[in-house]
A and B are shown apart, each in its own frame.
Chain A
Amino acid sequence: MNAVLKVSGLNRFFGGIQAVKDVTFEVAPGELKALIGPNGAGKSTCFNMLMGQLPPSSGKVFLNGEEITGKPPRDIWRRGVGRTFQITGTYQSMTVAENVQMALMSHHRRIFAIRPYAYKLYREEAMALLEIVGMADQADRACAILAYGDLKRLELAIALANEPTLLLMDEPTAGMAPKERIRLMQLTADIVRERGVSVLFTEHDMDVVFAHAHHIMVLNRGELIAEGTATEVRNNKKVQEVYLGGGMLFNKEDTHA
């Protein structure tokens, strides 16, 4: 089976610091894969390289067999990658529906159209997408007055606008209330099942990760240290060390205790 996303030997230096070290992995079609790791592990750096916000120092990224390394985000998006951000970046001065319509106009290449009124274009398609994320009832509210959780759901609808084969979600539930987190991840899992989209996401909330991810990768200090199913990762020694401590410093005390 061909991988949707294939990453091989990805490296990134910031000055003398290596933020991402030789990261290699694949995402299969219809897979919901999590990339976890402690703060500063390099998750966001990884993501930014996948989506083209940041050029890798070396290494390659393939989408459906085509190389996309170093291409600008808008090109990668055109090839069928949707992205949500850790901090939402929706258009504050537009309504909820218009935010989705904007992405649809771009997808249908109507950005430079002069004649039509933008707020009428692709309204129905936008409503269908909002329906999926449960935001249809708020379609005509200004984005600026939405609650944060609603913005996150809106972002998901926008990310679906170009019928992506891959969704990249950077901390999709950051800043949300626990109940909302569960709802949003359930929603994502449903989308994966129904639309056959692959999802790669980073996350801090382990409940969310273990409940939904098919596969989990663990990143620490820029290196992938484990990969596998929830149980495999849970039982992995290295992962336990990273998350629960057990570094050199405490070993002696542990044995004495």
Chain B
Amino acid sequence: MGLFVAQILTGLANAAALFLVASGLSLIFGVTRIVNFAHGSLYMLGAYFGITLMNTLPGAFGFWSAILLSGLIIGLIGVIIEICVLRPVYRAPELFQLVATFGVILVIQDLALMIWGAEDRLGPRAPGLKSVVRIMGEPVPQYDLALIAITPFILLGLWWLITKTRIGILVRAATQDREMVGALGVNQSWLFTGVFFLGSALAGLGGAIQLPKGGADLLMDLNIISSVFVVVVIGGMGSIPGAFVASVLISVLNVFGVAYLPQSTLVLMYVVMAVVLLLRPYGLFGREEKAGEHGQAGEPDRPIRPAGLYGRIAVAALLAVLALIPVFSGSFTQVLLTDIIIFCLFAASLQFMLSTGGLVSFGHAAYFGGGAYAAALLVSYSDTPMEIAFMFAPLAAGLLAILFGWFCIRLSGVYFAMLTLAFSQLIWSAAFQWYEVTGGDDGLVNIWPAKWLSGTNAYYYFTLIVGVGGIILLRHLTHAPIGYALRGTRDSARQAEATGINVKLIQWTAFSIAGALAGLAGGLFVFSKGSIFPNELEIAKSFDALIVVFLGGVKTLSGGVVGAGFMEVAKDWLTRLEYWRLILGLVIIGVVIIAPDGIVGTLRKVSERIGLRRTEEFMK
């Protein structure tokens, strides 16, 4: 009984920081409709600033004012981010904003590395609250009790701010209908900036207040962001009480998970999230999203046509060059090109559902890594010949996509994205924590191709044929009736339904096809590396794909492939620099703001403007 109570108390104490960060994110989303992936970075910065300030300011007064000051500083940093990065892209589709905030993550990671160094920092203990209290015989840290006491006041304060003040009225009004608020003469820009300040400050407070329990390190940004998303989605996007209830739920669940089911703590969290989304698609306290709010904004896509004669000749020439590579260059180039082709296929599979179908998935890595793991598990446990294991990769990933897709397509917009994220995290946590089967962090090794494919040359050709084949297949499907129907469901679901097209079935099919081809890429990947680790299933991997599709051009057909090729080459060059993330992050933010059409889209427009390319017939 004592242990039980102690664990509940630990859970409640852990909920404090989580609630602070989650309520900030929820607030920002509710008003600005921006899913701020950089919110975890603000939390990390809050922790670092907290440590620096606590070491400067003396005593208990110094400790608590350091926490408040960190909140203030992070709030101001949030304002800078909002004004410089997000203001220019408010009118853009949500994917643009997401990518921009991901750029911010990269920038902040390297800035933190520059300022505070790579070493993990231990947080100072709170003066006067350093010891433990015995409750029913179990030791409970005093600081935990302090946190439990503080959290309700924060909730109360936020509740008062939102329900009783003029600012709160504006925030609530903007959450429901921001255009109306604008029409009634409220300066939206400053309202957004203000909300960003508040939300960021809460993240900063969360980072600083957890210091005595956790400390600060460079991984805490991405570590917390997935829990925060779980909390916000379970609670309902934009709902503060929801964030509170969900933080407590998840924290307590985690503590009990650690005690009773140590192998499944992570899985548990995502299972809960998936279940909540299935029963209440908009979270416990959320309200239904208005349709169309998250649709494709901006200029409509152009009509498409299969490549003409010149296009085909160009592609054939490129393929001929690729086929001749082994004759001219060494194995290093071939390995790099193998990586590039695999990544291109992965990106193309995402582009199929994302651009053609308007289905923005945050968890596409699940199918890439899922396919890779499926093949690797077959090889490891049943000595399956490589050929069969390889074919199993797209099959398994496709089945996974059929299963997850069935749940996901019932939702749309941000909630769709969040559920795909939850499922991918589910797969990731299974791979990470189910040590006996998947090897956990050590991954699965010795997964080599069959003899006839084992040379660098042979595997290069294998990848070239399968990879390019997959890309061409996807491209063809885009031009086939199924691809057109998919585009139709994206352009106008109502029209599609009113002309006999089963929208959900089409979306489900596209989801499954995209999953299977991501799995094919995963199969190529695992046999090229000879091993697979959980990081191929991480959020970062899903984001890589999103970013390259975006870099290449969302509203183009070849954007994913071009973006992936560009990115792999750029990374190969950039990662030799110490602060490559900073540069990459700045490039991403720059592209979002300056060239939102991406590489292919921008090239197309520029070449039309200067007369290198005729304006397409149907645009006249």
Spell out A's residues near B (CB within 8 Å).
Answer: 51, 53, 72-74, 77-78, 83, 85, 89-95, 98, 102-103, 105-107, 110-119, 121, 140-145, 158, 161-162
Contact = CB atoms under 8 A, between A and B. Distances in A.
B300 A89 contact: no
Given A91-B492, A106-B499, A113-B480, 6 more contacts: A74-B500, A89-B498, A92-B300, A102-B485, A112-B481, A118-B480
A142 B619 contact: yes
21 contacts: A73-B498, A74-B499, A74-B502, A77-B498, A85-B494, A89-B498, A90-B491, A92-B301, A93-B490, A94-B303, A94-B488, A102-B484, A102-B501, A112-B481, A113-B481, A121-B481, A143-B303, A144-B302, A158-B495, A161-B499, A162-B499
Give the most central of B300, B484, B498, B617: most A CB within 10 Å.
B498
A232 B165 CA distance: 59
Contacts of B617: 140
A89 B495 contact: yes
Contacts of B488: 91, 94, 102
A118 B479 contact: yes
A162 B501 CA distance: 12
A44 to B, nearest CB: 13
A94 B499 contact: no
A25 B225 CA distance: 58
Given A90-B495, A91-B491, A162-B500, A142 B302 contact: yes
Contacts of A103: 499-500
A113 B304 CA distance: 18
Contact of A141 (B300, B491, B620): B620
A28 to B, nearest CB: 24
B495 A74 contact: no
A94 B491 contact: yes
Contacts of A145: 619
Given A93-B301, A94-B303, A142-B302, A114 B500 contact: no
Contacts of A111: 481-482, 485, 501, 506
Interface residues of B, number: 35
A117 B488 CA distance: 15
Contacts, number: 120
B305 interface: yes
B480 A93 contact: no
A107 B483 CA distance: 17
Contact of A78 (B477, B480, B484, B500): B500
A144 B300 contact: yes
A142 B302 CA distance: 7
A121 B479 CA distance: 11
A93 B481 contact: no
A142 B506 CA distance: 23
Nearest to B495: A89
B487 interface: yes
B497 interface: yes
Contacts of A106: 485, 499-501
A74 B481 contact: no
Interface residues of chain B: helix, strand, loop or mixed (majority)? helix
Nearest to B492: A89
Contacts of B497: 72-74
B470 to A, nearest CB: 15
Contacts of B58: none
B139 interface: no
A73 to B, nearest CB: 5
B306 interface: yes
Contacts of B502: 74
B310 interface: no
B306 A117 contact: yes
A142 B500 contact: no
B491 A92 contact: yes
Given A93-B302, A142-B619, A158 B479 contact: no
Contacts of A116: 480-481
Given A111-B506, A113-B482, A142-B303, A83 B618 contact: no
Nearest to A155: B495
B491 A51 contact: no
A87 B132 CA distance: 66
B492 A90 contact: yes
A107 B302 contact: no
A248 to B, nearest CB: 34
Contacts of B492: 89-92
Contacts of B301: 92-93
Contacts of A85: 494-495, 498
B500 A94 contact: no
Give the most central of B299, B482, B488, B620: most A CB within 10 Å.
B488
A118 B499 contact: no
A102 B618 contact: no
Contact of B305 (A105, A112, A119, A162): A119
Contact of A117 (B302, B480, B495): B480
